[in-house]
A and B are shown apart, each in its own frame.
Chain A
Amino acid sequence: MMLWKLALRNLFVHRLKTTVTGLIIVFGTTLAIVGNSLVDAISGGMQRSLTHSITGDLQVYSKEAKEKIAILGSMDGNMPDIGYLPDFKKVKDAILTLPNVKEVIPMGVNTAMLNPGNLLDIKLAELRAAYQSKSPARVASLKEHLLTIVKDIERSQKENEQNLLGVYGADKLFKDAPESIATALSPAFWKDFDARHEEKIEFLANKMAPLIFDDNNLFLSYLGTVPELFQQSFGQFEIASGEMIPAGARGFLFSDYIYETQVKHRVARRLDQIKKQLVKEKLTIATNKEIQDKITANVAQAAEVYNQLEPSRIQAILPKLQSLLNSQEKDIAPLLKSFLAMDDTNFLERFRFFYDEIAPYIILYRVKVGDTFAITAFTKSGYSSSVNLKVYGTYRFKSFESSPLAGSVNVMDMVSFRKLFGFMTATRRAETEELGKEMGTVDFSRDDMEAMFGQSVDVADKSHEKASSLANLAQSAFGKIDSQRRDVDTRYPRDEMENGVFLNAAIILKDPSLTDRTLQEIAKLSDAQGLGLQVADWREAAGGIGQLTTMVRGILYLFVVVIFGVATFIIMNSMLMATLERRREIGTMRAIGAQRSFLMGLFLRETFVLAFVFGAIGTLIGVAIVSVVGMKGIPAMGDVSTFFFSGDRLYLSVNPLHIALVFIAMTIVAIVSTQYPAWRAMQISPLDAMQTSE
C-alpha cells in the first residue's frame, strides 16, 4: 500500500511530466483501438465482398500449381499459372462429405481478346441486314454513311501517310490502299451497288475496313463457371441489364463495371465519369485538372461521335446543336467539338442533350446485350482458340457495384471456358472421334495429348487414342464444327457443364467462422484420397488485394509500435530524470534499509499507474469514437472503397481482443521503460543520503 501511495504521490508531484507522457499514451491507445477497429471493419467488409462475390470462403486448386492462386490477379497484375484439376465430380463429391461445406463451384479464370469490329464492319453488317429486310430507305441512308466513312478513310490515309509508310510500308493492303479508296469513291462503284451489294460489301469489308486504324480490341478477364450455380451460391450477384445465362446454355455476361468503362463509347463514358465527379464528388471542371483532361480528350475524339452519325441524323441534329451553342456553324465537326468543350455552367444541360439527341444514334456499346460475338483466347498449349458466345447481359455485385475490384471479371459458362482454355469437352471429344473415323488416321501427336490432357481416364482408352490423333486438324476445324453443329443456343446437361477439367473451385461454407478448421479438413481429405488439392482461404485466393488488409494492419501496428516506443522512451527519460532528482530520497531509503528490489517495485508501480490510467483513458476515448462512428458509419468516398466497405458505409465495432492487446502493450511499455531508471536508482548508494554533509 505504501508503495502504491508513494507511486501515486510521485506521479502527482511530477504532474507536468505525467500529463505529457499520459497524453502520448492516450493517443497511442486511442489510435490502436480505433485503427484496429477500422482495419477489422475493412477486413470484414472485404471478406464479405470477396466471399459473397467470387472467392467463396475457400478455394481449392492443384497441388502442383506453379504459382499461388490469385483470382483477382497477383500483385504484378498477371494471372498466375495454377495448373488444373482433371475431375470436378470427384473433388466435389469428396468435399461435400465434410459437414461444414455447403457448395462447391467449379471455376477457372483466364484472359481473352475480342474484336467486335470497327465502325465500317458494323455499318456493313447493318447494310446486309437492311438488304435482307428489304428496307430501301435504310439502305440509302447506310450507303450515304458508308461513303462518308470511306471519305474519312481517304482523309486519314493522306494525313498519316508518312507514319503509315514506316509501319505498314510492306503490307500489300496498304500498298493497294490508294487504288482501293479510289475505287470505293468512284461513282461507278456506287452506281450498281444495289444490284451487286454482296460483292460491294465484301470489297468494303476486305479492302476498306482494315484501313481503319483503331484500338477496337478488348482484352478481358473472364471467369468460367456454371452460371446458375454461381448465381445461387454468391448472394451479392445480380443481373444489371439483359438476362441471366439460361441454365445449361453457353453464354457470356459482362461485368457491369467493365461494360460501362471499357465497352461503352469512350466519349460517353468520359461524360459519365465527369458527371459522377461533378455531382457525387462535388468537383468542378474549372479546378480539376483530371476532369479538364477528360474534356480535352473528348474534344480531340469528337470524330468518333460524328463519324458514327448517319448523314440523315446529322442533318436532324445540326439545327438543335446550332441553337444550343448559339452558333451559325454548318459543319458538324467543329460544331460537335465546340459542344464537347463543356464547362461547369453547361455540363449537365449538354450531358442530357448528348444522351437524348446523340447517344441513341451512335454505337454506344461496342458489344450489345443480345449480340453473339467471337471471343479468342490462348489455350494452355499456346494456340489460339475462339468460340462464339451470346452476351446475355451484364451483372454486378450488390453494394459494391461501382467498385472496379470485384467487378474486374466477366462470367462465362464452363463448357466455353474449357474450350478456350484448351480442354477437351465431352461434346468435342465425340466430334473428334467422329472426324477421326471419317479420316481413318491413327497418328498420335503431342498436340493430341494436350488436347486430351484433361481427360486422364480417357487417355487410356484406345478409342480415344485414335480419336485424338486428329487434334491438329480438329483444332482448325473446331470453329467450323462449333458454328455448324453446335448452335449457341444448345443446352448442356448440368453434369456436362459442371464435370470435367477445372482450374479451381470455390467452396461456400455453412459456418464461415470455422473457415480455418474446414481448410485443414479439406487438406487432410485431399491427402487421404489423393485428390491433389491445395486449399487457400478467401484472403489468399483473392491475390494481392486479399493481402491488403494484412498490409494495412502491419502499417497500423508499425505506427502504434512507434508511438508506444516513443512513449516508452519518454517514460524512461522522465523516470530517469526523476531518479536523478530524487537521489537523496532514494539514498535515504537505502540508508534506512530499503533493498534494491523495493526500488524496482516502486518504479514499476509508478509506470504501471501511468500506463494503465492513461491507457484506460485512451481506450475509453477509442471505444467512444468507435461507438459513435460505428453507429453512423463512415461513408465510402470512392468506387474502390465500396468494395472494402462492402457497401456505401463502413460500420465499426469494438473488439475486446484489441482492448486486451492494448493492455498487454501497456504492460510491456511499463516494464521496459522502468528497467533502466530502476537500474540507475539501484546504483544509488546510501551515501547519497549524506550528500549535504561535509
Chain B
Amino acid sequence: MGAAQAALRVLNVVNKQGDSPNVDTIELTNVVKEYRLGKVTVPALKSINLRIENGEFSVIAGPSGSGKTTLLNLIGCVDVASSGDVVVSGQNTARLSERELTNLRLHKIGFIFQSFNLIPVLNVYDNVEFPLLLMKHLSKEERHSRVQHFIDKVGLGDHAKHRPNELSGGQRQRVAIARALVTKPRIVLADEPTANLDSLTGQSIIDLMKEINASEKTTFLFSTHDDNVIRQARRVIKLRDGVIESLG
C-alpha cells in the first residue's frame, strides 16, 4: 500500500473517532481472553467490564498471573479478545484489520515497556524519532521540534547522541517515555514501567508521567504490583485470577 493510501486510512480512523461520542475513552465489555496450551484452554481474563475515561492516571494492580499484561495487550491493540468488545478511541478492535490496528497503535497509543525495548543500534534521538518516521506525513522540521521537545522534557537533552547501552536504566526508561509521547497519543500504556528500576529512579519516572498526564491530558494506564506506585495512582483497578476485584 502506498504512503498516500496509508495516510488516507489514518484519516479514516481519526474521522471515525470524531464521529464517536466515546472519543479517547477505553471501554471493555464482557471481555474474555483465553489461551490454548495444547488441548487445555487457560482463561487469562474472565468477563471484564471496564471503562477508562480520557486523561485518567490509572493503575492495573494485581499479583503475577492475574492478567495485568493481557489486559494491557488488549487495550494496546497488540492482541485481540476471545470474546467481548474492546473499544479504543471509539474503534472496536475486533473489527479492525491488522493494518488498521497498527495505524491505531501508531497514532493513538504510546507504549512504555518494562525492559524499555529501545532499538539498540539507534541513538536517543533516533529512537525517539522512530515512530514519527512511521507516521510519514510529518515534515523534517516538525519531527525535529517534537523530538527535541520530548527529549528535553524527559531531561535527556544532553544525551541525544548516546546509544541505549551508554545510558542508565532510568535514562533508558525516560527515552522510552519520550518515544511513547512523541506521537502525541491519547493513551499511554505502561507495563511495569518501574520494575527494572531502583525506587528512586522509579519514583522520578512516575513523577514524570504524572507531570505529562497533567500537562498533556494524556491517559496513562499502567500495570504494576509496586505498592508505592499504586498509592500514587488516581484510580486502581485490582485484578486477581483474570477477574476485576475492584475498580478503585
Contacts and interface: CB of A to CB of B under 8 A. Distances in A.
Contact of B99 (A6, A595, A686, A694): A595
B126 A585 contact: no
Interface in B40-82: 64-65, 68-69, 72-73, 76, 78-79
Given A689-B113, A690-B191, A591 B105 contact: yes
B1 A597 contact: yes
Q: Which range holds the interface residue count of chain B?
A: 35 or more
Given A10-B121, A591-B105, A685-B78, A690 B113 contact: yes
Given A591-B78, A593-B105, A693-B69, A2 B111 contact: no
Contacts of A690: 69, 72-73, 78, 113, 191
Interface in A665-694: 685-687, 689-690, 692-694
A593 B126 contact: no
Contact of B134 (A6, A592, A694): A592
Interface string A582-612: 0011001111111111100000000000000
Contacts of A330: none
Contacts of B76: 591, 686
Contact of A584 (B106, B117, B129): B117
A9 interface: yes
Contacts, number: 89
A593 B134 CA distance: 7
A688 to B, nearest CB: 9
A593 B137 CA distance: 14
Contacts of A460: none
A41 B6 CA distance: 53
Given A6-B121, A9-B121, A592 B131 contact: yes
B192 interface: yes
Contact of A592 (B68, B73, B105): B105
Contacts of A598: 134
Interface in B166-205: 179, 183, 191-192
B47 to A, nearest CB: 20
B20 interface: no
A2 B131 CA distance: 11
B121 A2 contact: no
A313 B86 CA distance: 119
B7 interface: no
Contacts of A2: 126, 129-130, 133
A229 B103 CA distance: 81
B179 A592 contact: yes
Contacts of B129: 2
Contact of A693 (B99, B114, B126, B133): B114
A590 B129 CA distance: 15
Nearest to B115: A692
Interface in B82-107: 98-99, 102-103, 105-107
Contact of B117 (A6, A12, A597, A689): A689
Contacts of A596: 98
A5 B125 CA distance: 13
A107 B133 CA distance: 74
A170 interface: no
B120 interface: yes
B105 A686 contact: yes
B23 interface: no
A426 to B, nearest CB: 80
Interface in B108-138: 111, 113-115, 117, 119-122, 126, 129-131, 133-135
Contacts of B191: 690, 693
A13 interface: yes
Given A593-B103, A594-B134, A689 B114 contact: no
A595 B6 contact: yes
Nearest to B132: A2
A13 B69 contact: no
Contacts of B134: 592-595, 598
Nearest to B66: A694
B73 A687 contact: yes
Contacts of B78: 590-591, 685-687, 689-690
Interface in A1-35: 2, 5-6, 9-10, 12-13
Given A597-B1, A598-B134, A690-B73, A589 B68 contact: no
A687 B191 CA distance: 12
| Most chain A CB neighbours (cut-off 10 Å) among B64, B65, B111 | B111
A690 B115 CA distance: 8
Given A686-B78, A687-B79, A593 B122 contact: no
B103 A585 contact: no
A592 to B, nearest CB: 5
Contacts of B135: 593
A9 B102 CA distance: 25
Contacts of A592: 105-106, 111, 130-131, 134, 179
Contacts of B131: 592-593
A588 B6 contact: no
A598 to B, nearest CB: 7
Interface string A406-433: 0000000000000000000000000000
Given A5-B122, A588-B117, A687-B79, A694 B69 contact: yes
B74 to A, nearest CB: 11
A686 to B, nearest CB: 4
Contact of A585 (B6, B68, B72, B119): B119
B185 to A, nearest CB: 10
B104 to A, nearest CB: 9
A589 B131 CA distance: 8
Nearest to A585: B119
A617 to B, nearest CB: 23
Contact of B68 (A10, A588, A694): A694
A694 B79 CA distance: 15
Interface in B126-170: 126, 129-131, 133-135
B99 A588 contact: no
A596 B2 CA distance: 13
B102 A590 contact: yes
A689 to B, nearest CB: 6
Interface centre among B103, B105, B183 (most CB of A within 10 A): B105
A303 to B, nearest CB: 86
A687 B44 CA distance: 15
Contact of A589 (B79, B107, B115, B119): B119
Contacts of A13: 120-121
A593 B107 contact: yes
A689 B113 CA distance: 8
B77 to A, nearest CB: 8
A371 to B, nearest CB: 86
Nearest to A9: B121
A6 B117 CA distance: 15
A685 B80 CA distance: 12
B80 to A, nearest CB: 11
Nearest to A10: B121
Contacts of A5: 122, 126
B64 A694 contact: yes
A585 B120 contact: yes
Nearest to B107: A593
Nearest to A691: B115
Given A685-B78, A693-B69, A9 B122 contact: yes
Contacts of A597: 1
A685 B120 CA distance: 19
Given A591-B117, A593-B131, A686-B78, 13 more contacts: A2-B133, A5-B122, A6-B119, A6-B122, A584-B115, A592-B105, A592-B111, A592-B179, A594-B134, A595-B6, A685-B78, A687-B79, A693-B69
5 contacts: A5-B126, A13-B120, A591-B76, A687-B73, A692-B115
The 7 closest A-B pairs by CB, nearest first: A593-B106, A9-B121, A686-B78, A588-B117, A692-B115, A693-B69, A2-B133
